[in-house]
Amino acid sequence: MFIDNIKIYVKAGDGGNGAVSFHREKYVSAGGPDGGDGGRGGNIIFRIDEGANTLLAFRYKRKFVAENGSNGMSGKMHGKSGQDVIITVPQGTLIKDPETGKIIFDMGSDREFILCKGGRGGWGNRHFATPTRQIPRFAKNGTKGEEREVLLELKMLAEVGLIGFPNVGKSSILSRISSAKPKIANYHFTTLSPNLGVVSMGEGRGFLAADIPGLIEGASEGQGLGHDFLRHVDRCRLLLHVVDVAGTDGRDPVEDIEKINFELRQYSEALADRPQIIVANKIDSVLEEEEIFVRFSEYVKKNNLPVVYVSAVTGEGLDKLVRMATEKLKELPPVTIYEPEYSPEDEAISAAGGARETTVRIEDGKYIVEGEWLFNFMGQINFDDYESLNFFQRVLIKNGVIDMLRKAGIEEGDTVSIYDFEFDFVY
C-alpha cells in the first residue's frame, strides 16, 4: 500500500518543576535553599530516512509524545531531561499546517528539523534567595511542551518524471534504464504507486527517475489514480512524456499528448510549462509508412517537440534517451525546495497548542482576556525584553485579540489583563 498524505499529532515533553528544598547537614548551620531545577522536556524531531519512499509507517501510529523532564531534587540536583522523539520520514516530505495548508518545513535537503520544542525546566528555590528573602519556600514550575497536529505530504525528489497514459510502457522503460524492478503487466493501472530508479551514467553521474502512475483523462479532477499522484511530479525538473506510437489498444499518440498536457495544466500551470521530451515507445511494433506514425511525426515536427523513438522490449533508443535527459538536466535549475510559508506569529500560536478559543470579559473595570492557547503562549514571552514584547503584540493582533477588545468597547487608557500581565490599551 502506498500512502503519501497523512495527519498526525505530536507533543513535546513538558519541563520538570523546580524543587523546594533546604540544605540539612550536621554541623552545617544556615545551609540555605538548595532546590534543583527541573529538566527540559523532550523535543519532537523530524529526520530524513533515505531508505523510505512512503508514509506507510504512519498508518497505525499517528500520535507521538516526547518524554517529560524530571523534577528538580534537593542538593541542587538538576532533573533529568526528557528523551527526544525522532520521527523518520522519506526525503521530500512536506510538513504542513492542516488548517491553512501552509508549509511549515520541507524535508527536502535538511536532515533534521525540530518541529516542537520541549518545555523549559522550572527553577528551584535556590534561584529566588535574596538578602531580604533568605528562605524562599517556592519554586517555578516547568513550561508545557509545544504540541500540534500536522499534515505530512510526500512530494518525491525525483529529477525526472515519466508520465503518460496507463500501459504505454513507462514502467518497462524505467526498468530498462535503471535498477528499479516495478511490476509490469499488460493491463491498465498495473502501477499503483510511484516507482523510483537511479539512472547511472558512470563515474558517479546520473539522476533519479520516477514512474508516475495513473494519469488519465480527468485525472486533475480526481478520476483514476492521477489526482493522488500528480503531486509527485511537482519537483521533477524534466518530464519524459511516454506515448504508444504503435497505437496499441486503439490509442492515438497525438491525442494522448494533448490530453495529458491538458491535465497537467489543469493541475498546475508551472507543471504544464515544465520541459518535456516526447518518448515514442513501441517503435518496434510500427512501420514508418503507417498512417499513425506519419501523423505523429508531422505533429512533433510542427510543434517543435523534442522526441526520441524507443522500444522498451528491444532496448532500441534507450541509450539515446538517457543521454538526452542528462544533457537537458544540465541546463535546468535544481530540484525545487519549498520555502516555509509559516510566519513566526503563526508558529508561536500553533506551538502553544490548546484550544484556539479566546474570551474577553470586563471585571472591575479591567478587560480580562483568557484562552488555553494564550496561557501556554505566555510562557514563551520575556516581558522584560522590548523585542519579545513587540512579538507578543504582533501575535495578539494576528490572532484577533485586539479586534475582540475593540468590539468589547475598550478605549485608550483602559487596562487589559492577560493572566496577571497588565498593560494600558493604546490605539
Which domains can be identified in the chain, with CATH numbers? 1-154 (2.70.210.12), 160-331 (3.40.50.300), 344-424 (3.30.300.350)
Q: Closest Cα to residue 150, out of 201, 98, 114, 75?
A: 98
pLDDT number for residue 216:
52
> What would the grid cell of residue 42 be?
523532550
Q: Is the pLDDT of residue 238 over 80?
A: yes
Taking the CA atoms of the chain, what radius of gyration do you get in angstroms?
30
Q: Establish how many alpha carbons lie within 13 A of residue 138's alpha carbon, considering only the half-sphere containing its beta carbon.
A: 4
Q: At what angle do helices 318-331 and 170-177 cross, to 10 degrees?
A: 80
Q: Is the pLDDT of residue 214 over 90?
A: no
> What would the grid cell of residue 337 be?
525546495
> What would the grid cell of residue 215 be?
494519469
Q: Which amino acid is at 203?
A: E
Question: Which band of pLDDT confidence, cut at 50, 70 and 90, is reported for residue 185?
Answer: very low
pLDDT tens readout for residues 19-72: 999 888 777 666 789 999 999 999 999 999 877 777 888 988 999 999 999 999
Q: In the block, which residue shows the cell 509507517? A: 57
- Bridge partner list, 106: 94
Q: Is the pLDDT of residue 376 over 80?
A: no
> What would the grid cell of residue 303 be?
510543434
Q: Establish how many alpha carbons lie within 13 A of residue 142's alpha carbon, considering only the half-sphere containing its beta carbon.
A: 32
pLDDT number for residue 25:
76
Q: Establish how many alpha carbons lie within 13 A of residue 191's alpha carbon, considering only the half-sphere containing its beta carbon.
A: 30
Q: Poorest-confidence range of 12-21, 98-107, 220-229?
A: 220-229
What is the percent of the chain with per-residue pLDDT over 70, rounded to a whole number?
86
Q: How far apart are CA 230 and CA 208, in angstroms?
A: 17
**238-244 and 276-281 strand pairing:** parallel
pLDDT number for residue 336:
76
Q: How far apart are CA 229 and CA 231, in angstroms?
A: 5
**238-244 and 160-163 strand pairing:** parallel
pLDDT number for residue 40:
95
Q: Closest Cα to residue 255, out of 243, 273, 246?
A: 243
Long-range pairs of 375-381 with CB within 8 A, sequence gap ≥ 24 = 375/419, 376/144, 376/352, 377/348, 377/349, 377/352, 378/418, 378/419, 378/421, 379/119, 379/120, 379/143, 379/144, 380/143, 380/348, 380/351, 380/352
Q: Poorest-confidence range of 17-26, 76-85, 90-99, 385-394?
A: 385-394
Q: Closest Cα to residue 399, out of 379, 371, 422, 421?
A: 371
pLDDT number for residue 250:
82
Question: Which band of pLDDT confidence, cut at 50, 70 and 90, is reported for residue 338?
Answer: confident
Q: Poorest-confidence range of 29-38, 46-55, 341-350, 395-404?
A: 341-350
pLDDT number for residue 271:
81
pLDDT, mean of residues 401-407: 89
- The mean of the pLDDT values for the chain is 83
pLDDT tens readout for residues 416-427: 998 878 888 886
pTM score above 0.85? no
Question: Which band of pLDDT confidence, cut at 50, 70 and 90, is reported for residue 189?
Answer: very low
How many Å from the N-terminal Cα to the C-terminal Cα in the chain? 56
Question: Which band of pLDDT confidence, cut at 50, 70 and 90, is reported for residue 187?
Answer: very low
Q: Is the pLDDT of residue 198 over 70?
A: yes
Q: Which amino acid is at 36?
A: G
